Amino acid sequence: MDVFSLAQACIAATSVEDKLARSAEAAARIAGGDVAIESRDKPDPIAQPGRPPRPRLVHPRELPRRGLGSAEGRAALVHAVAHIEFNAIDLAWDAVYRFRDMPHEYYRDWARVAADETRHFQMLSARLAELGHAYGDFDAHNGLWEMAVKTSNSCLERMALVPRVLEARGLDVTPGMIVRLREVGDTRTIAILDVILREEIAHVAAGSRWFAWCCTRSGGDAQAMFEHLVAQYARSALKPPFNEMARRAAGFSEHEINRLMTQFAA
């Protein structure tokens, strides 16, 4: 068994329960070091990952805005974050599956990320149950996976645009969620978001580390390349507020943070 077969099985799993079980098992096996990181097979062209029939996927503009003053509104927020974490499981495994000839530590890093995302989803799913709901009860969007498709031919582009743009967005907006939840006294959800925020810094840092590694391998300048890729693919995904402290901890340079603050100021 190699890391690519394990990752492919996780991505293909269609039920929530099967995906979570396969993800946890695959991450444990890769952490244990008893799987190969070589394969003669090439990755299949990227396709939609396995997923349950619900939630229904819609355009982000079709998602209703709900206040946090009701249990329904708080459940919708938890569901939205749970959907991001569910997608993040597939994104981490696709980073393992799709990009071959990377160092062993690359695969260990993204298997660890997948294990964290699996645990995050489980925590959020349990909180949804406390609020009287389950994953799939609310509509969701597919923006994270759409970026995975756009970057499926380049590990460098994937590391730049998924961890360092889309996932880093979570570092920026989660503190505001916590403030709003504190106003309505939802300490249970706050405790979960605190864990996710802390651990997502390490996930974005993995993206920063491997983006820099890919740039070095290609002979390109990391800062110039990041600015080019953002301008080409993801300008609309960057907007204030920016969590400067978390981004520094996640591997963003002072130059990059200053560019964000000046180019994408409110």
In tens, the pLDDT along 27-85 reads: 999 999 889 998 889 999 999 999 999 999 998 888 888 889 899 999 999 999 999 99
The pLDDT of residue 263 is: 81
Percent above pLDDT 90 for the chain? 82
At residue 238, does pLDDT exceed 90? no
Please state, rounded to an integer, the average pLDDT across all residues of the chain.
94
Q: Read off the DSSP letter of residue 236.
A: G
Residue 100 CA to chain centroid, in angstroms?
20
Q: What is the pTM of this model?
A: 0.95
d(CA 89, CA 23): 8
Percent above pLDDT 70 for the chain? 99
Under 8 Å between Cβ of 147 and 220 = no
d(CA 244, CA 137): 34
At residue 227, φ and ψ (nearest 5 deg) are -65, -40
At residue 106, does pLDDT exceed 90? yes
